[in-house]
């Protein structure tokens, strides 16, 4: 179980089931002192309009739990296409990380969104951006060719450079907050250990956010 979960969604995302208040209450019941709730960007069907994100920053704490509200923005090319080739995918992520507003890249690698993981990591290290291991994506794709091998390389780079990673449940219902069982199941194959996940050090995570 994650000690801090920064990748969850509320009903505002359009296809999740719980309110912000319900999500935070569940996090509190699971012993979390901090939770991130990120809604899908406006280009996603059913997602909130831009005005939602201007209002959301007025809520920073509920039930004694620190609340980080954000946006899971979509990276699109200039034509709005999603079936990009690996070179374009990598360039899109690298360019996005150069934007000071981007702090975390959620599920940077999917088998249907291939990238040069080495180049992406180097930019993450340079910009101090966190790359996420996403439990939902691990559930869907960990058995597919190349998936675990790519994340093993990411883990190796993280350990070599001392740059932390982050894990997220991608919960769309409150009961899934903190869920990381499919990531945990892959610890051995990808060489992941708890010390690489900044989720396990909430105080350091808070310091990192202030620094960014």
Min mean pLDDT across 12-16, 36-40, 73-77, 99-103 is at 73-77
Cross-strand pairs, 130 = 104
Q: What is the pLDDT of residues 69-86, one digit of tens each?
A: 887 877 665 443 333 356
Contact 17, 48 (CB under 8 A): no
Place of tokens 């691990």: 138
Q: pTM for this structure?
A: 0.76
Contact 123, 98 (CB under 8 A): yes
CA distance 56 to 205: 21
- 76: Cβ–Cβ under 8 A, 6 or more apart, which residues? 43, 82
Q: What is the pLDDT of residues 122-133, one digit of tens each?
A: 999 999 999 999
Domains of the chain in sequence order: 5-73+86-211 (3.20.20.140)
Q: What is the pLDDT of residues 150-205, one digit of tens each?
A: 999 999 999 999 999 999 999 999 999 999 999 999 999 999 999 999 988 888 88
- 131: Cβ–Cβ under 8 A, 6 or more apart, which residues? 104, 105, 108, 120, 121, 124, 154, 165, 166
At residue 81, the 3 state secondary structure works out as coil
């Amino acid at each position: 179980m994650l000690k801090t979960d920064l990748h969850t969604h509320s009903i505002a995302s359009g296809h999740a089931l719980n309110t912000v208040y319900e999500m935070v209450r569940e996090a509190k019941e699971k012993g979390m002192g901090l939770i991130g709730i990120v809604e899908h960007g406006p280009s996603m069907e059913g997602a909130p309009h831009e005005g939602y994100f201007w209002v959301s920053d007025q809520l920073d704490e509920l039930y004694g739990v620190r609340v980080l509200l954000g946006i899971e923005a979509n990276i699109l090319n200039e034509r709005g296409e999603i079936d990009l080739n690996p070179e374009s995918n990598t360039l899109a992520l690298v360019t996005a990380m150069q934007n000071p507003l981007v702090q975390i890249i959620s599920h940077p690698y999917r088998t249907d969104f291939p990238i040069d993981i080495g180049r992406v990591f180097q930019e993450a290290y340079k910009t101090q951006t966190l790359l996420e291991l996403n439990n939902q994506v691990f559930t869907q794709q960990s058995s597919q060719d190349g998936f675990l091998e790519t994340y093993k390389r990411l883990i190796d780079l993280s350990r070599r450079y001392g740059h932390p990673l982050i894990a997220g449940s991608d919960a769309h219902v409150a009961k899934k907050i903190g869920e990381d069982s499919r990531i945990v199941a892959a610890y051995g194959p990808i060489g992941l250990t708890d010390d690489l996940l900044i989720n396990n050090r909430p105080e350091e995570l808070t310091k990192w956010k202030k620094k960014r």
